Amino acid sequence: MSNIVIKTISQEDVAAIFKGNADAIYGIIEDSFRKYLAGDIIMPDKISQIFDEVSQNRINCMPATLINEKVCGMKWVSVFPTNALKGMQNVTGIMLLSELNTGFPIAVIDGTLSTKMRTAAVGCIAAKYLAPSKVETIGVIGAGEEARMHFTLLKHLYPSIKECRVSSLNITIEQDFIDKFKGIVPDVKFVTCNNDSHLCASGADIIVTAISGQSPVLKAADITQGGLYIHVGGWEDEYGVAQKADKIVCDDWEVVKHRSQTLCRMYKEGILKDNDIYANLSDLIAGTKKGRENDSEFIYFNSVGLSYIDINFANYIYKEAVKRDVGREIVIAESNNVNYSDLF
């Protein structure tokens, strides 16, 4: 029997790997979709254990394999919207990697920070293809960690952003969001919206809802001509928002349609059909479908989260950790270490 050694990579290690390296985050996303298009992915169905149908408190098991990289992994992630009422983060997770020569596990990696980055970066890649030609104003509904990551990566991608409107049920969190960033990005005017979705969204070039909500907050009346809406979490918008869209794009419609987000609800109620979905994000990356064709289009983008992107993130983090000698190695099984007499 061989020793089994795993590398443990903490959230601090992940942050160090991406410090000053934000462009790599976008690269991982596009590389993930290209691997998928090349048939280099195995992606079983996500297993979601929902403990409360109203709040959608849940724990997800998301497995995937990168065939040519010879790694298999899974993300074990909890999404507890009720944590917000306790002043706690609502998404936490870990990722596990195994190599495919022996099947041995090789790494356990923090999945909390990388989930925030992955989710926001998918929206950013969608924006590359779907945002208006000028991005100067964004409206962010929700002011927690995922909203903050979206602003961070969108501002990195679009230095042209001059105004960020922030709306939250909790006015204190709105101000916390602004206090967090106003010294970091002094060229941006921050606007508190006091939970006014119309003030936040109307006329914005990009709208983001990052609230893990289970009731519609963004209203059809909030949508004006043009712009891109990045839908992040659950049931966050009125059906009329999607019905106003000139194009609806998903990270993967076949995965999205079986979940509990706004578009899924519309599909299950017969309001939305398969042919109402314009494209998957991979179609835009491959060039088989056009993205935005004029600035008057209102485009709706919905992501549900794809496990192969998480595992591509995990594999990148693991390889960088090995290269930089980051993380700790732990022997979890030693050769011939079972003393059978202890079991009697």
Residue by residue, what is the 3-state secondary structure of 85-127?
HHCCCCEEEEEEEEECCCCCEEEEEECHHHHHHHHHHHHHHHH
Residues 105 and 175 sit within 8 Å (Cβ to Cβ): no
**Residue count (the chain):** 344
Q: Quick one: angle between helices 22-37 and 145-157, nearest 10?
A: 90
Q: Domain 129-302 maps to which CATH number in 3.30.300.30, 1.10.760.10, 3.40.50.720, 1.10.3210.10?
A: 3.40.50.720
Using one digit for the tens of pLDDT, what is the confidence trace for 175-202?
999 999 999 999 999 999 999 999 999 9
pLDDT of residue 336: 65
Q: Looking at 223-337, list the stretches that DSSP marks H as alpha helix, in order from N- to C-terminal side.
A: 239-243, 253-256, 262-268, 281-286, 307-324
The reported pTM is: 0.91
Output the pLDDT for position 29: 96
Q: Taking the domains of the chain in order of start, what are their residue ranges? A: 4-114+307-343, 129-302
Sequence-separated (6 or more) residues with CB below 8 Å from residue 181: 148, 151, 164, 188, 190
Q: 118-153 pLDDT, tens per residue? A: 999 999 999 999 999 999 999 999 998 899 999 999
Write down the pLDDT at residue 1. 60
Instruction: Pick out the chain residues at pLDDT < 70.
Output: 1, 212-214, 335-337
Torsion of CA 250, 254, 255, 257, to 10 degrees: 80
Number of alpha helices (DSSP H) and beta strands (DSSP E) in the chain: 11, 18
Tens of pLDDT along 60-93?
999 999 999 999 999 999 989 888 778 788 889 9
The pLDDT score that the predictor gives to residue 223 is 95
* Residue 163 pLDDT: 98
- In this prediction, residue 260 carries a pLDDT of 78
User: Is 3.40.190.10 the CATH classification of the domain at 4-114+307-343?
Assistant: no
Give the HSE-up count for residue 12: Cα atoms under 13 Å, Cβ half-sphere: 3
